[in-house]
Structures are given as C-alpha cells and as structure tokens.
Amino acid sequence: MRSTVSNNQLNVILLDIEGTTTPVDFVYETLFPYASANIESFLHEHSVDQEIVSLVEQLHIQYNNHKRDEKLQILLPRWIDDNYESQLSSAVAYFQWLITKDIKHTALKSLQGKLWEEGYSAGVIRGIVYRDVPPAFKRWTKQKRLICIYSSGSILAQQLLFRTVASEDLTAYISRFYDTRAGAKTQSESYRKIAASLACNPRNVLFISDTMKEINAAQGAGMQTILCVRDSKDCHLPETNIVIIRSFDEVFPG
C-alpha cells in the first residue's frame, strides 16, 4: 500500500466526482432531494418540450425493462397510461423511485441535470468541492496535465457543479467531461473508450476514484489508478498494493 505517485508520463488525470472531488453528502442531501422535490412541477412546465418528452419516454422504456425483473416487480411504483395526468404522475413516481435506488440510468441523469440547471441558475444550489481541489487543478494545469471528469451524472450536471463553486469557475481547468454515454464506470471498456477519445495510451492516464469497482475497471483498461479515501474514519482499506490518498495535495505536489 503506497500513498503517493510521481510518474511524469501520466499526462491525463481522470477524476470521479462523488467522494473524490465533492463530498457525498452534497449529492445525497442537496442534489437528489432537490430533483425529487421539483420533478413534478418541472414536467408540468416542460410538457411540450420535445427533449423532455423524449427523456420521459426513455424512462418509460426503462420502467418496462425493470418490470420484467421478477425481483423488482413488487417494488416498482405503478405506471398508469390512462391520460396525461396519470402518465405524468407515473413518471414522477418512477423518477423518485430511481433516485432512492441510486440507479445509473442515462435518461434519469439527463432529467436531473435539467432540474439542477434551474436550481443553479436561481442560486438555490451551488457547487461544492473539497478544499484541496482548486489548488490541485491549478497545479496540474501548470504541469500541462489534462484534467478530465468521468461521472455517472450527466455532463451538464458536472459542468454546473464545477462552474458554480464559490471560489471560482473550475471548468476553465477541465478539458473533457464524460458520463454514462461512455459506458458504465465499472466496465473496463468504458475507460478504453475514454483513452481512445483522447488519442492517449491508457497507461498514460491516471484515474482517481473512491470506489474499488471503478478502480479495478480502470486498471483492467491499462490505466494507472489512485483510490481516494476522504473519510479519515474509514478503516476498511483494501489489502492490496494500490496507491491510496486522502487529499489531492499528495498527487503531483510540485
């Protein structure tokens, strides 16, 4: 088990968000509740917006897929198609159910991003990152390393978060954003696609995350990795020779 990295060949830094750049509580105590509380009024207000209508249709398709899963049948809320109001109520209930289950579905994440955009624009929500993130972004940029983000949240949601951080707009330091359209974060092929999109050998990419399944997937693609453990009380660290950090201050410090 090591705690630092110093490979100058790592010219791309790929970052997870939740638990890595941003406290988990911000997602579960601010973003998710805001989306859940405002989805009904949002769908009413955007009932003729074709992009939103299409996303709801995608949710319905996903609902039907879930309905075929015997383990989920008894847990799913009902989807009623009798009229527009019943369809809307069904979409709201399913949207909220997906949030409680923290299911990574592209249509859900896109709708959340649209909702959060209104919250950020109104000043109700502001992006939060750990204190060491802005100086790390500046340091890595000076070192001519590309900073990229890979999250299950939509690209719009990612951009809004980093753009509204109190200290400054951090999107100026970020070269690329990736979401579930690149693939699942627990699949190695997703990381190969990201490296290919950057015209970069995977071994020259450093992926930082707080989740071992994601770390394993990135390693399977040939990337170098760091496990970010923000909670100092965490005592369940893996018994492997993996790089573990508690702060970005430890990553390419100078």
Q: What domain range includes position 41?
A: 27-121
Taking the model in full, what pTM does it have? Answer: 0.87
DSSP code per residue over 201-213: -GGGEEEEES-HH
Question: What pLDDT does 65 receive?
Answer: 87
| Single-letter amino acid, residue 208 | I
What 3-state DSSP class applies to 245? strand
One domain for residues 52 and 141: no
Six token digits for residue 179: 């979401």
Question: Which of these three, 121, 148, 178, is where a domain ends?
Answer: 121
Question: What pLDDT does 70 receive?
Answer: 67
One domain for residues 115 and 132: no
One domain for residues 55 and 113: yes
Domain total in the chain? 2
One domain for residues 17 and 131: yes
One domain for residues 116 and 145: no
- How far apart CA 199 and CA 197 sit, in angstroms, is 5
One domain for residues 243 and 160: yes
Six token digits for residue 45: 């207000």
> Long-range CB contacts (< 8 A, 24+ apart) of 41-45?
42/111, 42/114, 42/115, 42/118, 43/88, 43/91, 43/92, 44/88
Q: From first to last of its 254 residues, what are the pLDDT tens digits of the chain? A: 444 555 668 999 999 999 999 999 999 999 999 999 999 999 999 989 999 999 999 999 999 888 887 677 668 888 988 888 888 899 999 999 999 988 888 899 999 999 999 999 999 999 999 999 999 999 999 999 999 999 999 999 999 999 999 999 999 999 999 999 999 999 999 999 999 999 999 999 999 999 999 999 999 999 999 999 997 555 566 656 789 999 999 999 97
Question: What pLDDT does 59 receive?
Answer: 92
One domain for residues 117 and 90: yes
Question: What pLDDT does 1 receive?
Answer: 45
